[in-house]
Structure 1
Amino acid sequence: MSRIVTIGEMLVRYQTADNNPLSQSSRLDAYYGGAEANTAVTLGYLGHDVHYVTALPHEHPLTKAMKKHLRQAGVHTDMIYASEGRIGTYYLEKPVSVKQAEVYYDRSGASVLGLPELPINWEKLFSEKDWLHVTGITSALSSELRSLVKEALQQARHYGVKTSFDFNFRGKLWTPEEAAEAFREVLPLVDHCFAGWKDFAWLFNWEKQGSSYEEELTHFYQRLHHEFGVASAASTKRELLEDGSHRLTGYYFDGESLSASLPASFKPLDRVGGGDAFASGVLHGTMTNMPVDELLAFSIACSTLTHLVQGDQGDYEVQDILRFMQNQRQDVSR
């Protein structure tokens, strides 16, 4: 399996234990996550050798718990630095009926903000590694982290490591203009990009061309490829159905043409981390040389299963996902 590096902030998600808003809840459940941590954990369970880079408070009991959570998935924690500050958190109100989910961030003063000041040994980090995965969320947290993400991608290129970048735009963290400027800086350093139709239309203000969603997305990906040299790209389209189900379709662009998965319909238990699971599936499929149709089917199954567990990640291994793909909608497995 491949040797992977991910860099980002690990968070605690606090979520109402019932379906009430935060102002009317007396109990909160806690989960460990963050986009890059979610990808690291999922890839760890898929059998890859993953090193996760972040900064957490020294001698904090939750730091110990977070490292344990990562190590359970086989993720290496030797590149988690001790830094001043606190653990970043956010609060989630779950969606109920016609009311959308709501996220409230509490990330100021987090330890990860000190990561750019720490002595990262890039040669050691990228020695005998195959892949680096980062996201736009880390770039949104500070100008220093934005520079660190760019430097990490530059160093990865220098040491011959493939790179992937997930836009993961969060409107509560920065403006579309700030995100677009940062993304344009790093895209020439990216081999594979995770970005969807809305990212190009809203952030880059690219005009759509085509008479269908697939034709418009193909045009965006072709422009991404020609303007920035990004070799491949992937995304999902989520449709919310009247019965509360979600219909998810995966897309993969190989530099020339767009492929689509069969849509998967399900009622999610927890949608947080579903996009990271899809990204993990695509990276796994890329690193194991899956044909595109198999890669998309695997990635959508990986995402679907993650939607069906409470928390940011599942603990599904490759055989679990393949079994699910084969036996969907059958009765009890006995």
Structure 2
Amino acid sequence: MRKVITFGEIMLRLATPGYARFSQIDNFNATYGGGEANVAVSLANYGIDVDFISRLPKNDIGRACMMDLRQYGVGVDQIIWGGDRLGIYFLETGAVSRGSKVVYDRAHSAISQIEKGMINWDQVFEGATWFHWTGITPAISQGAADVCLEAIQEANKRGIMVSTDLNYRKNLWKYGKSANEIMPELVAGCDVILGNEEDAEKVLGIVPEGVDVTGGHVEADAYLSVSQQIMKQFPRCKKVITTLRGSISANHNSWTGVLYDGKTLFKANNTYQITHIVDRVGGGDSFMGGLIYGLITWPDNDQKALNFAVAASCLKHTIYGDYNQVSVEEVEKLMDGDASGRVAR
């Protein structure tokens, strides 16, 4: 039996149509999204039993959000109700040399007011084999950080695999604590750690050398020392994974990844040139969803798990919205080298 639990905040996403700027529009496209919820949707698409845990306001927006997750096959029965509002984020999609912009409106959201003891982790973790969280959740509030730690400790007691995406967001750490004050204690309870070069530096104080992201040049070998330092700092960790995104422009990114298991640095077989990005929000979450699926499905084949994660997240860049709505068959087709985009008849 394979059951994954993810915990975090889901928000209402209000995006400008097409590539319009905030100042140009009189309407927004409304969808839902959030790091751990995005991972849950990916896993549900791949046939994994997954529950998303959060706190939602008991009003029509909260219920609509829960129904949105349910339609994708995500378990929502353990979501708790409370608070007055769902967090919102506004998205302006960039083009060419103009980057995308995100504006948060999530102060006093339902999950920001969560406290230890509100969630019955005994009930949540019944039958679970994997728990996933991201660095976004403890950035929301001290209460969210406390509950995240509570969940990690409960998972550790039960021998449940714990993964995290470090996911540093400088605009979120506003409640008087910095990421490097809160995160290390949480990361210490993790078996699988995902992060890019900024996450490693801002969250853990580890700086990679030889990385030129803004120039679109990313060398996989530059992350070996980072991975080794993470494992030394967090001895529980069994695997360190890094996504390697080269930003040539807002519409053209190179995309690949590496995985270190303490002995070998695995490099993904493919580096994808994503030349016409539809939506890059949720790209890292789609990678994590693919990685968890891969590590569960092929526990003795880290190379295949990594290749699956990179291919899955490459496809996400072609899909509008936070969620990666692709199947295992579509990912494996790209893994096998078919990037033609031909019509399937």
After TM superposition, the score normalised by the length of structure 1 is 0.93
Counterpart-to-counterpart distance in 1, 2:250 and 2:238: 38
After TM superposition, the score normalised by the length of structure 2 is 0.91
Counterpart-to-counterpart distance in 1, 2:110 and 2:69: 18
What per-residue deviation string (whole Å, max 9, x for no partner) do you get for residues 270-319 of structure 1? 00111100011111111112522221221111111111011011322212
Distance 1:82 1:204, change over 3 A: closer
Is 1:311 aligned with 2:317?
no
1:58-73 maps to which residues of 2 (within 5 A)?
A: 58=58, 60-73=59-72
Is 1:27 aligned with 2:27?
yes
**Aligned AA for 1:82?**
W
What per-residue deviation string (whole Å, max 9, x for no partner) do you get for residues 43-64 of structure 1? 1111111111111111x22222
Which of residues 272, 290, 295 is equivalent to 1:286? 295
Contact 1:2 1:130 in 2 (8 A): yes
Counterpart-to-counterpart distance in 2, 1:113 and 1:172: 15
Aligned position for 1:217:
223
Which of residues 332, 337, 342 is equivalent to 1:331? 342
Contact 2:188 2:234 in 1 (8 A): yes
RMSD between aligned residues: 2.1
Q: Compute the displacement of 1:172 (Å).
A: 0.6
Counterpart-to-counterpart distance in 2, 1:244 and 1:145: 34
Q: Compute the displacement of 1:9 (Å).
A: 0.7
1:140-179 maps to which residues of 2 (within 5 A)?
A: 140-174=139-173, 178-179=178-179
Contact 1:222 1:256 in 2 (8 A): no
1:183-332 maps to which residues of 2 (within 5 A)?
A: 183-208=183-208, 213-229=219-235, 230-241=237-248, 244-261=251-268, 262-266=270-274, 267-289=276-298, 291-326=301-336, 327-329=338-340, 331-332=342-343
Counterpart-to-counterpart distance in 2, 1:207 and 1:53: 33
Distance 1:215 1:316, change over 3 A: closer
Counterpart-to-counterpart distance in 1, 2:121 and 2:249: 50
3-state SS of 1:90 partner: strand
Q: Which runs of 5+ in 1 are unaligned?
A: none
Distance 1:118 1:24, change over 3 A: farther
Counterpart-to-counterpart distance in 1, 2:148 and 2:306: 27
Contact 2:135 2:167 in 1 (8 A): yes
Is 1:83 aligned with 2:95?
no
Q: Compute the displacement of 1:101 (Å).
A: 0.8
Contact 2:280 2:317 in 1 (8 A): yes
Counterpart-to-counterpart distance in 1, 2:233 and 2:177: 18
3-state SS of 1:116 partner: coil
Distance 1:32 1:257, change over 3 A: same
Contact 2:99 2:250 in 1 (8 A): no
Contact 1:18 1:25 in 2 (8 A): no
Q: Which runs of 5+ in 2 are unaligned?
A: 212-217
**Aligned AA for 2:45?**
Y
Q: Which structure shows the higher helix fraction? A: 1
Counterpart-to-counterpart distance in 2, 1:171 and 1:118: 28
Counterpart-to-counterpart distance in 2, 1:199 and 1:168: 6
3-state SS of 2:54 partner: strand
Aligned position for 2:16:
16
